[in-house]
Amino acid sequence: MSAEEDSTETEDATPSEDESASAKLFGEWSVTDIDYTDPSTERYITVTPIAHTMGRHAGKQFQKSEISVVERLINRLMQTDENTGDKQKVMGITQDAFEIVHERTDENPIQVLVSAVENSAPREETVRLKYGGISVPKAVDVAPQRRVDQALKFIADGVYSDSFKTPTDAEDALANQLISAANDDVSAYAVNQKEEKERVAAAAR
């Protein structure tokens, strides 16, 4: 076999950019043509067809922003006593929730998740400053990466509060949270928490 033939076979075996772009999350949902309405968080809301990277990002600081927002949500949902370490179970819950979101909205659930994160990300929060032994709250802007972190935390907390020791299944609770947050509904736990943080920060300006 000549060197040219060998290099040709290697190129054929390597997936093209078009093939990578056509890959779908859970084999069903397209990761292309996702609309972002918040330019400040767009860089930190990554969408890929991979839902489990085997922790490859864990050793590098801030590498989490290169991981799919879907996997980041899954990791957040695992941070409870019941689901700790059971990633396959939580992936199944997320996949079922995406099916429910699609049935109710007729939209790509990844787009719904991105919109939910954008609507749940607080722009301001408070920190405590000490002046002569007196603690004073001070309003500060939230970094874009922290905004995404906070939004995912609020969504996961809302799912847990809605499904723990209640008749509501986890997948239904997740679907409800995503749809409500994507619609910027204040009754959604994540949006409510964002509004509360911004209200407290506004009072501390």
Residues 141-170 as b or e (16 or more Cβ within 10 Å = b): ebebeebbbbbbebbbbbbbebbeeeeeeb
Decide: 72 and 152 in contact? Cβ < 8 Å: yes
- Return d(Cα 51, Cα 131) in angstroms, integer: 47
pLDDT of 179 strictly over 60: yes
pLDDT tens across 191-202, in order? 999 999 999 999
Cβ count near 51 (within 10 Å): 17
Domain range list for the chain: 3-203
3-state class (DSSP) for residue 138: strand
| Cα 31 to Cα 170: distance, rounded to the nearest angstrom | 24
Scanning the structure block, which residue is given the tokens 């004073």?
136
pLDDT confidence band for 28 (50 / 70 / 90): confident
pLDDT on residue 1: 52
pLDDT digits (tens, 9 = 90+) for 64-97: 888 899 999 998 898 776 667 788 888 999 999 9
In sequence order, what E strands does the chain have?
Answer: 24-25, 29-30, 124-131, 134-141
Per-residue pLDDT at 111: 94
Task: Supply the pTM of this predicted model.
Answer: 0.83
Q: The tokens of 61 are what?
A: 């600081």
Alpha-carbon distance of 71 to 148, in angstroms, equals 13
Supply the mean pLDDT for the chain: 85
- The SS3 of residue 68 is strand
Sign of CA dihedral 14, 20, 22, 23: positive
What is the reported pLDDT for 21?
54
Assigned architecture for domain 3-203: Orthogonal Bundle (1.10)
Q: Range with the lowest mean pLDDT among 24-33, 54-63, 72-81?
A: 54-63
Residue 178 · residue 99 · CB < 8 Å: no
Residue 160 to residues 12, 63, 70, 117, 154, Cα–Cα distance (Å)? 46, 26, 17, 17, 10
